Amino acid sequence: MIFPISAFRSPGGPAHDFSGLFVTPIFWLGLSGALAMSIARGTFDGMWGGRGTNYFLAVTAVLAMSIIAVNCLLFAKWPEAPAAARALVPWSVYVLPPATLLGCLFALNPDLARTLNPLFWRLPLLISCGVSWTVGCGMLAELTVSRMRRQAHRMEANQLRNQDRDRQILAEVEAMQPERDFAGLLQHSNRWEPEAIQRLAVRKALALPDFTKRLAENLRTDLFGRGMYFVEAHETPDPRAIAEPFRDGVLLLAADARRQMRDQGNLFADTFDTLAGQITTAADRFAPLGVDFVPAITEFRSAMDEVRADGMKPTCRDGLDRWLKAHRKK
């Protein structure tokens, strides 16, 4: 990212303008190249590790130093510097890059370096790189912790929203009348609702004297999807009376799925996965009652083969094929 020097101009004087040179990509590319050439010439051989280690430390130190320099200039205006770099903000941009640059100057000019004890130019260079590397690691750790905290806050906020939603749905179910709101009770009996909501919805639905008749009618009307929630997740008082209506409901689902495959634009490959799982789970529950679900599920599977302009192919097809293969009569 390029930070224009003009972004860091300070009305206090030219020093801030000069320090803006230390956040330009050209400066840091040049400094990286100078350190790499110094390492290639063997300037730091024997000090620590091999040259591969030296290259890694130099690159990461220059990267950390550039980030620190940018923070120093940015947070001179906005005093919200990362805690790891806060002590460096007032002065680091005026000290660390020049000290590193001066060290590279001596390292790349042997004749000049011989005029001084190596300690006088190596030590500032090593200190600058070491401080930058240490503070950079601290900033990285601080960033990691900050992201973890934000993620925790998001999760907490989502949990609170879900709790509010559950309280609202529970209140709605409590206000429902079995005779009037039967379809709504079936809808809230699905296995993805919290247990308290499921229990209440099931208890109220079963309180109807003609529950089995109403459920059978639901499975054979345009509200069949709501009845599907109940039969897939809960036992019915008279499963034998529900098995055939459920089979008829699967045929309605197949027709609806075929219509969606032909006409609906915003479908995804996993759109029908949950529904296919519900159908096969409930069919397995009713299978011992002697009702043949293979033709109805075959029809649903056939709907998944409708050709779409976007080329989407439902992922539930494999699962349906396995179920049909296991249940077709030999």
Following DSSP, what letter does each residue of 28-54 receive, concatenated? HHHHHHHHHHHHHTTTTTTTSS-HHHH
What is the pLDDT averaged over residues 229-252? 89
**Is the entire prediction scored with pTM above 0.95?**
no
Residues 6+ apart with CB under 8 A from 193: 169, 201
What is the pLDDT averaged over residues 229-253? 89
Q: Is the pLDDT of residue 272 over 90?
A: yes
pLDDT given at position 48: 62
Query: Nearest CA to 277 among 225, 224, 246, 323?
Result: 323
Distance (Å, rounded) from C-alpha 298 to C-alpha 323? 10
3-state secondary structure of 191: coil
State the angle between helix axes of 239-263 and 294-303 in degrees (0 to 180), rounded to the nearest 10. 20
Give the CA angle between residues 175, 194, 162 to the nearest 5°: 90
Q: Which of 78-87, 140-149, 158-167, 281-290 has the lowest mean pLDDT?
A: 78-87
Question: Dihedrals φ, ψ of 209, to 5°?
Answer: -60, -35
| H-state helical runs in the chain | 14-19, 25-40, 51-77, 92-107, 110-113, 118-175, 182-187, 195-206, 211-219, 224-233, 239-263, 273-286, 294-303, 317-327
Q: Considering all CA atoms of the chain, what is the largest pairwise distance in Å, rounded to the nearest integer?
A: 104
**Alpha-carbon torsion (81, 83, 85, 87), positive or negative:** positive
Query: Nearest CA to 186 among 198, 174, 196, 169?
Result: 198
How far, rounded to the nearest angstrom, does the alpha carbon of residue 58 sit from its chain's CA centroid? Answer: 33
pLDDT given at position 171: 94
Per-residue pLDDT tens over the stretch 101-156? 777 777 777 777 777 777 777 777 777 777 877 877 887 888 888 889 999 999 99
In the chain, the percentage of residues whose pLDDT exceeds 90 is 32
Q: Is the pLDDT of residue 13 over 60?
A: no
What is the pLDDT averaged over residues 293-306? 94
